[in-house]
Amino acid sequence: MVLLGLGAFPQDPVSSHPAIQSSSDPGSHIPDPGSRIGNWVLVIHGGAGGPPAGSMPEEKENEYKEKLTEALGIGTEILQRGGSSMEAVEAVVMFMEDCPLFNAGKGAVYNDEGVAEMDASIMDGSTLMAGAVTGVQRIKNPIAAAHLVMDKTRHVLLMGEGAEIFAKEQGLELMDPSYFQTPERTEQFERLKKKQMEDRKDVIEPPGSTKDPDQGTKGTVGAVALDNMGNLAAATSTGGLMMKMKGRIGDTPVIGAGTYANNATCAVSCTGTGEYFMRNVIAFDVSALMEYRGWSLEEAASFLIHEKLKSQGGGGGLIAVDKEGNITMPFNTNAMFRGYAKAQGGSRVEIY
C-alpha cells in the first residue's frame, strides 16, 4: 500500500489543514454575501507555478489574494442563487482569463516564438459532455469557446484557426494577439530566451528529471463546483508553459488529463507540467480511483500528486470536489494559488 495517512482525514480535509486554521490574514476571507442555502461548493486555482513562500512581495501576494477572492465572489453569487455548476465554473474562469496576473487569456505565457497559444476545456459531470479548444491565439475567452464546442458541435476539441473561426461565428470576441501580452510576460520571455541561448541544457532536460525545467514558468486557472442540484462541473484554461514549442499542447484541453467531471465521483482541474498530467491521465485517475477502488477524494488526489507525480519529477497540483461536497487542493510545488467557498463552511484563499 503506497498511501500515507490513509483514512486519517476527517470529512473535510481542507478545513483541517494547519495552514488554513492558523492563517490570520483577513485578506484571505471573502465577505459573507448573506444567508447561504443548499450544499453548493466552489474550488478555484490560479496555477501551481508560484515562487517559494517569502520571495514574493507582500503587495503582489495581496493582489493575487484579492483577485482569487473576487473570483470566488463571482461563483458564489451564481451558485447561491441556484445557478448551475457549469455556469459558475465558466464565469469564474472567464474572470481569471481577463485578469493579467494569471497564465490564461490576458497574461498568458508565450511560446518560444513569443506568441500566446492558449488551451481550455470544460466538462459537465451530469451529462459527461465536454468541450475544448487548443492552440488559439485570438479568442478573448477560450473557456467560453470550449463551452460552445460542447454545446454547439458534435466534437470535443477544436484547434487553432478552426476554433477561432467557430468562436467568431458564435459571436465570441476575437482580439489581436498583442492583447494577451503584458510587460511582465514579455520581460519573462526575454529573460528565458536569453537563458535558452546561453544554456542549451535547459532546453533538452530529459523528461522525468527531478530538476524541473519548467519551474516558475507555469500557471493556469481552473474551477470545479458542485451546485445545489448535485451536479458537478470542471473548467481549466491556460497559456501552457512559457517557452513551449510552437504547436505544443498540454494537459489543459485534454479531457481526462487536465480536466474531468463525473456526477458519480468528482470534478477535477489540474495545473502543472502538462506532459506528466497527460502521461498519467491525472484528472480521470482521481475519478477512477474513487469509482473502481472506492478511495476517497483525498486519498486519490493525494496519492497522485504527492506520490505518483512526485516520484516521476512531475510538478503541479489539482483542485477537486466530490459529489458529497468534500474538497481537496494538493500540490507538490512551492505554491498553488487556490481558494474555496462553500454554502456551509465559509471560504478561504491560500497561496503556500
Three-class SS state of 48: coil
Considering the rule CB under 6 A, would residue 333 count as an interface residue with ligand ASP? no
Considering the rule CB under 6 A, would residue 134 count as an interface residue with ligand ASP? no
Considering the rule CB under 6 A, would residue 237 count as an interface residue with ligand ASP? no
Considering the rule CB under 6 A, would residue 219 count as an interface residue with ligand ASP? yes
If the CB atoms of residues 80 and 269 are measured against ligand ASP, the closer one turns out to be 269
| Count of residues in contact with ligand ASP, rule CB under 6 A | 17
Three-class SS state of 142: helix
> Distance between CA atoms of 297 and 267, rounded to whole angstroms?
10
Considering the rule CB under 6 A, would residue 241 count as an interface residue with ligand ASP? yes
Contact region with ligand ASP (CB under 6 A), list: 2-10, 165-173, 178-186, 249-257: 249-257
Considering the rule CB under 6 A, would residue 250 count as an interface residue with ligand ASP? yes
Considering the rule CB under 6 A, would residue 256 count as an interface residue with ligand ASP? no
Residue with cell 530566451: 193
DSSP readout, 295-335? --HHHHHHIIIIIIIHHHT--EEEEEEETTS-EE--BSSS-
Beta 259-261 vs 129-136: how paired, if at all?
Answer: unpaired
Considering the rule CB under 6 A, would residue 274 count as an interface residue with ligand ASP? yes
Q: What kind and span of H or E run contains 159?
A: strand 157-159
Q: How does DSSP classify residue 26?
A: G
Instruction: Tell me which of 61, 124, 227, 251 binds ligand ASP, using CB under 6 A.
Output: 251
If the CB atoms of residues 105 and 250 are measured against ligand ASP, the closer one turns out to be 250
> Distance between CA atoms of 194 and 205, rounded to whole angstroms?
17
Q: Which residues are catalytic?
A: 220
Considering the rule CB under 6 A, would residue 315 count as an interface residue with ligand ASP? no
Instruction: Tell me which of 218, 338, 342, 348 binds ligand ASP, using CB under 6 A.
Output: 218
If the CB atoms of residues 213 and 240 are measured against ligand ASP, the closer one turns out to be 240
Cell matching residue 82: 441556484
Considering the rule CB under 6 A, would residue 107 count as an interface residue with ligand ASP? no
Considering the rule CB under 6 A, would residue 49 count as an interface residue with ligand ASP? yes
> Distance between CA atoms of 227 and 78, rounded to whole angstroms?
9
If the CB atoms of residues 252 and 328 are measured against ligand ASP, the closer one turns out to be 252
If the CB atoms of residues 79 and 242 are measured against ligand ASP, the closer one turns out to be 242
Residue with cell 490513509: 6
> Distance between CA atoms of 16 and 222, rounded to whole angstroms?
23
Contact region with ligand ASP (CB under 6 A), list: 11-19, 33-41, 190-198, 266-274: 266-274
Q: How far apart are the first and last CA of the chain?
A: 28
Q: Which residues contact 230 (CB under 8 A, 6 or more apart)?
A: 39, 263, 323
Instruction: Tell me which of 252, 259, 269, 296 binds ligand ASP, using CB under 6 A.
Output: 252
Considering the rule CB under 6 A, would residue 220 count as an interface residue with ligand ASP? yes
> Distance between CA atoms of 87 and 91, rounded to whole angstroms?
6
Residue 239 CB neighbours (<10 A) = 32
Contact region with ligand ASP (CB under 6 A), list: 21-29, 60-68, 204-212, 236-244: 236-244
If the CB atoms of residues 219 and 339 are measured against ligand ASP, the closer one turns out to be 219
Q: What is the dihedral of CA 150, 152, 155, 158, to 10 degrees?
A: -80
Binding mask 142-181 for ligand ASP (x = CB under 6 A): ----------------------------------------
If the CB atoms of residues 50 and 131 are measured against ligand ASP, the closer one turns out to be 50
Beta 221-226 vs 41-45: how paired, if at all?
Answer: antiparallel
User: What is the closest distance, in whole angstroms, from the C-beta atom of residue 269 to ligand ASP in the complex?
Assistant: 9
- State the sign of the Cα–Cα–Cα–Cα dihedral 48, 49, 51, 52: positive
Can you give the binding site for ligand ASP, defined by CB under 6 A?
47, 49, 103, 218-220, 238, 240-241, 250-252, 258, 271-274
